[in-house]
Structure 1
Amino acid sequence: MELSSDLINKFLKFGLVGLSGVVVDFGVTWGCKEKLHLHKYVANSLGFMVATVSNYLLNKFWTFHAVGRDAMFIEFSKFFGIALAGLLINNLILYVAHEKLGLNFYLAKVFAIGMVAIWNFMGNYIYTFSS
């Protein structure tokens, strides 16, 4: 894979969408964990899933301009599959960093999000939104 200006542009846009997803993810996670008193891993999963839907729509139409390629259901299924694998990786990193290494839950979550962002970009660039 060559580092073209198009790839770099898409990666930067993907990063901005990802930042908006972090805000959504943290907001939902915090609300579910601190206000609704849901279990921290349930709250984390809900935050991740809501951010996934938000990120899909923004990446589809802004980052990758993927209009009219696959049926939206099939394309979202691909995106969701990448995100679901990312969620498993996210929760594993979160568990190890928080439970085993003793990091603050939200600091561990930032670390997990950073690690999973690379997985998500590559998976969606190569699989979901490939032309």
Structure 2
Amino acid sequence: MEFFEKVLKFGIVGFIGMLVDFLVTWLLKEKLKINKYMANSLGFTCAVINNFYLNLKWTFQATGNTNIFFIKFILISVVGLALNNMFVYLFNERFSINFYVSKVLAVVCVFAWNFTANNYFNFHT
């Protein structure tokens, strides 16, 4: 599969994941009044699970041990989550950018890490 096709598919899956992330985060933060960083982490986690299956089957069309792929995907995503929260904190608390705008900026920043790590160290199809 062409590199740019994989990047495009990864981006589409990421966009779907971002919608999942934002919906869960918004529901938890605004409706259930959960701490914004806990809500952010839970939204991110739901998106990661969604993204794993879409990327496994559609983006990378990977075959092999799904459990190993999932463990690697989770490890890569944990680093991504740390980066995501760091960027949300930086943009929101340090630069006083709206929380949800900060989340968008964080997603853009973490995209490069997530794609590169999954393409070269996880699925490498």
TM-score by length of 2: 0.97
1:27-73 CA distances to partner (integer Å, 9 max, x unpaired)?
00000100111000000000000000000000000000012x2x222
Which residue in 2 is equivalent to 1:83? 77
2: CA distance between counterparts of 1:89 and 1:15?
18
The 1-side partners of 2:70 and 2:13 are apart by 16
Q: CA RMSD in A?
A: 0.9
Q: Match for residue 126 of structure 1? A: 120
> CA–CA distance in 2 between the matches of 1:18 and 1:130?
18
State the 4+ residue runs in structure 1 displaced beyond 3 angstroms: none
Q: Distance in 1 between matches of 2:5 and 2:90?
A: 33
Give 1:7's aligned residue: 3
Letter of the structure 2 residue corresponding to residue 110 of structure 1: V
Determine which of 13, 18, 41 is the counterpart of 1:17: 13
Equivalences for residues 9-88 of structure 1 within 5 A = 9-67=5-63, 69=64, 71-88=65-82
The CA distance in 1 between the partners of 2:62 and 2:27, in whole Å, is 32
The number of residues matched between the two structures is: 125
Q: Secondary structure at the match of 2:2?
A: helix
Identity percentage of aligned residues: 46
Deviation of the 1:89 alpha carbon: 0.3
Alpha-carbon shift at residue 128 of structure 1 (Å): 1.0
Q: Which runs of 5+ in 1 are unaligned?
A: none
